[in-house]
Amino acid sequence: MHELSEQEIIRTQKKEALEAMGIPPYPSSSAGHLHTKAETILTQYKEENKANYSHVVLAGRIMGRRIMGAASFVELQDASGRIQLYIQQNAICPEEDKSCYDIFFKKLLDIGDIIEVKGFVFMTQVGVITVHVTHLQLLTKALTPLPIVKEVITKEGAQAYDAFTDPEQRYRQRYVDLIVNPGVRKVFEQRAKLIHTIKTSLNQQGYLEVETPILQPIYGGASARPFTTYHHTLAMPLYLRISNELYLKRLIIGGYDGVYEFAKDFRNEGMSRFHNPEFTQVELYVAYKDYIWMIDYVEQLIEQVALALHGTTTVPFGPHLINFQRPWKRFTMFEAIHHFTGYDIRAMDEIALRTVAGTLHVHVGDNLAKGKIIDEIFSKKCEPYLIQPTFITDYPVEMSPLAKRHRDNPDLTERFEVICTGKEICNAFSELNDPIDQQQRLEEQRSLGERGDEEAMVVDHDFLKALRYGMPPTVGIGIGIDRLTMIMTNSNSIQDVIFFPQMRPENP
């Protein structure tokens, strides 16, 4: 049970006092007026068009008050921003009822309360656009005080105190974070715009948005450890999906030329500023195309996203300026490793690769096979240095069990990733549509699982059955929405771009 603070006890008493006065602290609704947004008034009001603002209605949260006798200034915050209100005693209260202003407004209203006001807009003598309030109604009494930032003016300028900046508390109480840190709302509005831009492009291409199962009897489509649950009626284990790839490929087999899904995926792995166990990606599969086509399309798509959000292809991220203007730099996987480490590993077997990893101080466990060792070397010695968007292409076949073999070298696959700011944001390949080769590779993955690789793929026999009906040449891609949003909004942590990131309970 939550133990009330002194301020919460006082506010609860104020709620009871309002009820005793016949003022409902939580009325069923406002008066049903069409509310004008603060931003609309602040951007469009002019002295010459003030007649258009002779009657406005706003609703929002009290974020500041300056009470001066029979008149007061209030800072009101709605979803669009903040605006100043001017409130006079005789404007909101009957002339004969002095307690209305002195008790209701002065004593029983608090910062954080939600109100609705009517009035007209004017410009103060110091040039501040303000709403002169003629009617005020309480809509919601807030019983817990907000952590309002206090400013003190010193010789060095304005100094802020009591800001709600502790990351853990911000993530746990995102609702408070959104109230007191307006810039946070902007991040999520940009995220929504990013998703809209991608969807618009995919829809214009004629691709179908679909939904596939989140609870799956066989997890597949990626190398990751799943979350496990149990279905009591069916008496069987189920898994939260780690990818929706294999279901989307089934739809291509079924006859669609292009399908995509914005999917919540779940991977039971470590957490960091780049990893959350629940994350969002868009996966797209297009028939009769290959990874060469997809390289051009994704390059154009993400450039379009940058322009939509920033009006330019140059985006700030930490100390860097990320330039998404086409064309981007390209390395093959082996070229990148050679470039950053000096080692040409193309012809090396597992033993030689382990020697190189040891020389480079890259730890690889005994349970890791050749593909995972290459992946570890690349992740530790190449990825962190790829700041500008870069295509890494032509991965070894051991690293890509679902990708088509390279048309010029059967030891490689037609796969690429986009690495940006040192992290993968896209993964794509020409899809393997040979059911015999696919079965062999999944069987090899099963062997790796038996060897101790917890992220090895499992054999999905129904998917193999579907492949035997014939899948046309197809390219697929997954784009990490959370990581792309981090870059596009200059956010340092993935938790900053997820409304409610996973957290350890405060009181387990």
Measured N-to-C along each axis, helices 182-204 and 481-489 cross at an angle, to the nearest 10 degrees, of 120
- CA nearest 479: which of 433, 430, 425, 432? 425
Measured CA to CA, the distance from residue 361 to residue 342 in angstroms comes to 14
Distance between CA atoms of residues 86 and 119, nearest Å: 9
Beta strand ranges found along 55-156 (DSSP E): 56-68, 71-78, 81-88, 114-123, 129-140, 150-154
Beta strand ranges found along 300-411 (DSSP E): 314-317, 320-323, 329-332, 390-393
Look at residues 138, 125, 123 and name the one whose alpha carbon lies nearest to residue 92.
138
Q: Crossing angle of helices 370-381/350-359, nearest 10°?
A: 20
Q: Are 122 and 130 spatial neighbours (Cβ–Cβ below 8 Å)?
A: yes
Asked if 114 and 60 count as a contact pair (C-beta separation under 8 A), the reply is yes
Residue 424 assigned as binding residue? yes
For 288-422, strand residue ranges (E) read 314-317, 320-323, 329-332, 390-393, 415-420
Task: Please tell me the distance from the alpha carbon of residue 190 to that of residue 198, in angstroms, as a whole number.
Answer: 12
| Residue in this structure with the two tokens 């193309």, named with its chain if needed | 346
DSSP letter for 492, please: S
The separation between CA 370 and the C-alpha centre of its own chain, rounded to angstroms, equals 34
**336 backbone dihedrals φ, ψ, rounded to 5°:** -65, -45
Report which of 251, 218, 263 is spatially closest to residue 462, judged by C-alpha positions. Answer: 218
What is the helix (H) or strand (E) element at residue 196, kind and residue range? helix 182-204
Query: For 382, how many CA atoms within 13 A lie in the half-sphere containing its CB?
Result: 27
Q: Known binder of ligand: residue 506? A: no
In order of 46, 268, 465, the CA distances from 275 in angstroms are: 48, 10, 34
Count CB neighbours of 380 within 10 A: 17
Distance CA 288, CA 473 (A): 5
- What are the backbone dihedrals phi and psi of residue 189, each rounded to the nearest 5 degrees, phi first? -70, -40
Six-digit token pair at 173? 């109480």
CB 263, CB 280: distance < 8 Å? yes
Backbone angles phi, psi at 83, to 5 degrees: -145, 150
Asked if 344 and 334 touch (Cβ cutoff 8 Å), the reply is yes
Indicate the annotated binding residues for Mg(2+): 417, 424
